[in-house]
Structure 1
Amino acid sequence: MKLLDHSYRTLYSELAQRTLDAQFSSEFSIEGRFVSMESRGRRYWYFDLAKPGGGKQRRYVGPVDDPEITARVEHFADLKADHRARRKLVSTLIREAYLPRPDPLAGDITQALARAGFFRLRGVLVGTVAFQCYAALLGVRLPHTALQTGDTDFAQFHSISVAVGDAMPPVLDVLRAVDPTFREIPHPADGRASTQFATRSGYKVEFLTPNTGSAEHDGRPATMPALGGAAAQPLRFLDFLIYQPVRAVLLHGAGVPVLVPAPERFAIHKLIVSVRRRSDNDGTAKGDKDRDQAVTLMDAMIETRQSEALAEAYMEAWDRGPAWRDAIGASLRAVGEETRARLLAPLAASVRALSVDPASYHLPA
């Protein structure tokens, strides 16, 4: 796996800083002010803006203990957009560093939701579009065979959607500004709710949320107050994936600042879900793609000396119970002996470095 030249990693870091600055300054009017408030023992930033007819409008910004958010609150008056320069940085990273860019529709959709506040409200980009962000984030070139997709997936914890006290504009309006043929797809278990939206050509956008309770909830949509009228499909194992997401930039336009799962969690999650795909339709093909993405990210993290973070995610998932262990084991058996040996040896070494016996996690001693 080829590592990115240091100069391109530096360009990406600069782009990440500028895109977050630009989005932050464009979302909040200089006429408003930031206030911090406490909720459930934690402090959060909110933005107050006076309404023309009196009163004020309050918007959720983010946790006070997020140093990047708080730094931008403190320097809000100094933040300025630099759109043209950022487009040039994106172009350089795509054309010279050969980093992946999303399908134009996926990029436009993600950018529209970002501007509507989805990531500010602690939503997370998941799926293959998120996977496309890891090349720049890890400083490697990823194989393009694992980068193709026909949909874009977004996730949010239900508890966050309830707690933030803010909401996006109507999701259907946001999506129709990108493609006017977007329509709601009524949920099969409750036609009053929609977790999926599709264009006339069949491109889909889906909203997901973790199911940490009974498997009975998997089939029913969850009401999500922050998502502008969209519901979300509850899925098991998703809480592991989107816990403590990381900031990244989608290389589209002038750069779209997003939240994506930590790469180590994405890799282990893909191992798990790859063997849980249904066998009908294209489930087998999707399972193979999931496993390819998992192996690719694991290789990348090992190559870039981040195997300790990968080991910690592996152990956390393994410790969650028999269903998790069975899925991980079945997926690793499916990758082939040579690939399995290449992955498990450094993983075992990292587990051992954490003062844990690798054998307790079915890793080579």
Structure 2
Amino acid sequence: MKPISPTIQTLYQDLVQQVHAANERAGSLYTRSIKNIDYVYLKRTVGSARRDIFIGRADAPEVQARTEQIRQEAIRAKERRKIVSTLKAAGVPVPTYALGAVLDAVADASLLRQAVVVGTAAYQCFSPIVGFSLPSAALMTQDADLATASLALAGDDTTETMETILQRADPTFKPIPGLSPKAPPSSFRAASGFVVDLLTPQLRRNDTNPMPLQNLHAGAVPLQHLRWLITDPIPACALYASGIPLRVPMPARFAIHKLILAQKRTGDRSKRTKDLLQAKALIEALQFSDPWALADAYEEACAQGIGWRQPIERSLQELKINAAPSASFG
């Protein structure tokens, strides 16, 4: 794996700080006169859609203050786009258009403030974080996995459904029917085949599957090991448009979780292979950039019991990596 220069790593972290600090989203302001009163609206692109958002009366002080914030954010967004272009030119991985549009739509709905991006969409963000260009074969994805510990997951507009939000990314998104026709959908698919899955940590063996996310008219599949994975997520940024703020798992936890997941796969050889490839790449990178974090994640997971330790050790054996932290991770 090729190291990423400290300059590019620093530039990426600067971008992460900027996108997470932004309290507005850029767009074009315009006024509309109704019965001789001017009202301000914001037009902005979200995924593949354009949204018109009502701001308020043009002469209201709070509206004038907000419009100034939006103008300033448009200037900052233009500067961030230059940083995104520089990072792309340096070889930092970028999401596909389909993935970027989905993340943009979910971020616009404010869902990424609570949700954690997991799966390959998260893995794509790790290169500038761990300091190495991760193998491109493990970066390709036709899905996005969003995990939440809160079943009260909701954005700024709680009347919007998950389907409505995703259709801003691609109007062909539809819910995938589950085994029970009465169960809320936990997966959504676009005509292109791109799939969005909603996940939540399993609390008990008899959890309802999926667990209802009432505000979104959707559900989330409860999974083992997920709570550990998404505890204490870190800020990251998807290199799409002027940068999309999101949260991803700690790279070390992600790597160990992939070791477990690879042994749990049944019937999907390609996903199992990708799990092992992603785990191996991250372990090799972290052995140089943050070996103690890797050792800590390994020990934490193994301490959960044989149900965790055994799949980890089996995957490490397949990858021909010594399971002893002192020999391999520290």
Shared fold by TM > 0.5? yes
Deviation, 1:310, is 1.1
Which of 171, 174, 186 is the equivalent residue of 2:177?
186
**In structure 2, the residue corresponding to 1:13 is in which secondary structure?**
helix
The answer as to 2:90 corresponding to 1:105 is no
Deviation, 1:101, is 0.6
Deviation, 1:167, is 6.4
Alignment of 1:4-15 (within 5 A): 4-15=4-15
Report if the CA contact (8 A) 1:317-1:325 is conserved.
Answer: yes
Report if the CA contact (8 A) 2:255-2:279 is conserved.
Answer: yes
Report if the CA contact (8 A) 1:209-1:235 is conserved.
Answer: yes
Which of 104, 110, 121 is the equivalent residue of 1:117?
110
Report if the CA contact (8 A) 2:116-2:249 is conserved.
Answer: yes
Determine the structure 2 residue equivalent to 1:233.
Answer: 221
The answer as to 2:291 corresponding to 1:303 is no
Give the TM-score taking structure 1 as reference length: 0.73
Unaligned stretches of 5+ residues in structure 1? 28-49, 53-75, 351-365
Alignment of 1:173-252 (within 5 A): 173-214=164-205, 216-217=206-207, 220-225=209-214, 228-252=216-240
Report if the CA contact (8 A) 2:110-2:155 is conserved.
Answer: no
Q: Partners in 1 of 2:274 and 2:300 — Cα distance?
A: 23
What is the letter of the counterpart of residue 162 of structure 1? A
Deviation digits for residues 179-203 of structure 1 (CA, Å, limit 9, x no counterpart): 1111111221454310001112221
Determine the structure 1 residue equivalent to 2:241.
Answer: 253
**For residues 265 and 167 of structure 1, do their structure 2 counterparts lie closer, same or farther at Cα, with a shift above 3 Å needed?**
farther
Which of 313, 316, 327 is the equivalent residue of 2:297?
313
Determine the structure 2 residue equivalent to 1:265.
Answer: 253
Determine the structure 2 residue equivalent to 1:66.
Answer: none
Determine the structure 2 residue equivalent to 1:288.
Answer: 273
Determine which structure has greater relative contact order: mean sequence separation of CA pairs < 8 Å that are 6+ residues apart, divided by chain length. 2
Q: Partners in 1 of 2:197 and 2:282 — Cα distance?
A: 24
What is the letter of the counterpart of residue 134 of structure 2? L
Which of 80, 83, 86 is the equivalent residue of 2:80?
86
**For residues 185 and 345 of structure 1, do their structure 2 counterparts lie closer, same or farther at Cα, with a shift above 3 Å needed?**
closer
Determine the structure 2 residue equivalent to 1:146.
Answer: 138
Deviation, 1:326, is 1.1
Deviation digits for residues 308-344 of structure 1 (CA, Å, limit 9, x no counterpart): 11111111110111111111111111113xxx14x75
Report if the CA contact (8 A) 1:190-1:221 is conserved.
Answer: no
Deviation, 1:236, is 1.0
Q: Partners in 1 of 2:201 and 2:157 — Cα distance?
A: 19
**For residues 295 and 344 of structure 1, do their structure 2 counterparts lie closer, same or farther at Cα, with a shift above 3 Å needed?**
farther
What is the letter of the counterpart of residue 105 of structure 2? A
Task: Report the number of matched residues.
Answer: 289
Report if the CA contact (8 A) 2:118-2:249 is conserved.
Answer: yes
Unaligned stretches of 5+ residues in structure 2? 27-54, 58-68
What is the letter of the counterpart of residue 265 of structure 1? R
Q: Partners in 2 of 1:180 and 1:101 — Cα distance?
A: 23
